[in-house]
Amino acid sequence: MKLEEAQQKFIQGWGQLGASWGINRTMAQIQAVLLLSPKPLCTDEIMEKLQISRGNANMNIRELVAWGVAYKSFIKGDRKEYYYSEKDMWELAKKVSRERKKRELEPLIKILGELQTIEGSSEEVKEMNKVVKSAGQMAKRAESMLDLVMKLEEKVFFKWFKRK
Amino acid sequence: MKLEEAQQKFIQGWGQLGASWGINRTMAQIQAVLLLSPKPLCTDEIMEKLQISRGNANMNIRELVAWGVAYKSFIKGDRKEYYYSEKDMWELAKKVSRERKKRELEPLIKILGELQTIEGSSEEVKEMNKVVKSAGQMAKRAESMLDLVMKLEEKVFFKWFKRK
DNA sequence: TTAAACTTTCAATTATTTCTGAAAATAAAA
DNA sequence: TTTTATTTTCAGAAATAATTGAAAGTTTAA
């Protein structure tokens, strides 16, 4: 397989993965491009590689930087900003975990917390309280798992994990 | 808080969670409605509760059943089909894990496997091979984690987990 | 059979999300 | 300062995804 073709496949696959995780497909593809590049890239190079507009590139690059999965880089004598990806997959996983926890788990836990005060004795109220309780329990457990992931080092985590 | 209001909040929150996981919002809301109901519901009741069309309701209910997170139920003397949700959150988590593994992790692992044969010695080829290798490693680890989740019982899993 | 009750499908519509490109803003150099 | 390079914004356009509703399909029972 030729390099170009392989890169294209990787970029598509990574984009697809992002999309099914509720992450903008282009954002994930930019990340893939940065992952594959041995050196930082500027906006124009990314636009060229993915055939996208400046506005689109700019917005999604900034989002990647906000997530902490890409970084800015400056080259002396050049006014352009360059970008490179976090390449450590474990670090990447941790950053994504952190964002998703913030954006999804925490709002759910908050809502569930507010719902723990329903009064009444109808079947529906009982069912509500049961569901809220068990969902809250599950969410808290998921949260503490993510906390653990984010705290431990890769080696430690997987070594521990292998204890099965 | 009144029951109606609490139910509405739960349904919205659950739908939101689903949406950010790449699951159709309505599908997640139907699941929420079924979770809250002490008894199985028919299509018309779900349409009524969520104010959606028959086609929409039908399609998403079927999808929930296909995921294995809702079940059909028949009531004697009634021709309609009724549906109820899997209510065990752990079982729910396992079912969702299974689907997501199938839909996302496996395709990625397949693609990465196909990309492990790039020849050449340029910086770009080296980078490609590095990225493919580490991504593949991470994906396989995620896979074995999900396998573990799906194999163990809730109590065992969390007890084991608490060993930290 | 035929009819009634219910489920499924799908073309057309509507809603939502993403993308573009040009203008405005910002920052560095002349 | 003024000019030039670069980044950012955002209204409208385009693309994508979700939804509707009516017709077709199925199943049960009279």
CA distance A43 to chain B (A): 19
Residue B134 has pLDDT above 60, yes or no: yes
Q: Return the top range by mean pLDDT from A149-163, B76-90, B97-111.
A: B76-90
Query: What value does the mean pLDDT of chain A take?
Result: 93
- The predicted model gives A16-39 an average pLDDT of 95
What does the block give as tokens for B45? 């009741």
pLDDT tens for each residue of A63-74: 999 999 999 999
| C-alpha span between B57 and B45 (Å, rounded) | 10
pLDDT band at B108 (very low <50, low <70, confident <90, very high): very high
pLDDT for the residue B164: 54
pLDDT band at B153 (very low <50, low <70, confident <90, very high): confident
Domain residue ranges in chain A: 3-85, 89-162
Residue A6 has pLDDT above 80, yes or no: yes
Q: Is the CB of A29 under 7 A from strand C?
A: no
The answer to which of A17-26, A53-62, B22-31 has the lowest mean pLDDT is A17-26
Stated length of chain B? 164
Decide if B118 touches A, using CB distance below 8 A.
yes
The answer to which of A148-157, B44-53, B97-106 has the lowest mean pLDDT is A148-157
Q: Do A1 and B127 touch (CB under 8 A)?
A: no
- The predicted model gives B119-128 an average pLDDT of 94
pLDDT for the residue B89: 95
Q: If phi over 0 gives left and psi between -120 and 50 gives alpha, with beta otherwise, what is residue B120?
A: left
Question: How far lies B110's CA from each of B113, B139, B140, in Å?
Answer: 5, 10, 11
Q: Is the CB of B52 under 7 A from strand C?
A: no
Tell me which fold the domain A3-85 belongs to. Arc Repressor Mutant, subunit A (1.10.10)
**Nearest nucleotide to B55 by CA–C1' distance?**
D20
pLDDT band at B163 (very low <50, low <70, confident <90, very high): low
Residue B73 has pLDDT above 80, yes or no: yes
Query: Which residues 16-35 in chain A show a CB within 8 A of chain B?
Result: 16-17, 19-22, 35
What does the block give as tokens for B37? 């109901």
pLDDT for the residue A149: 84
Decide if A156 touches B, using CB distance below 8 A.
no
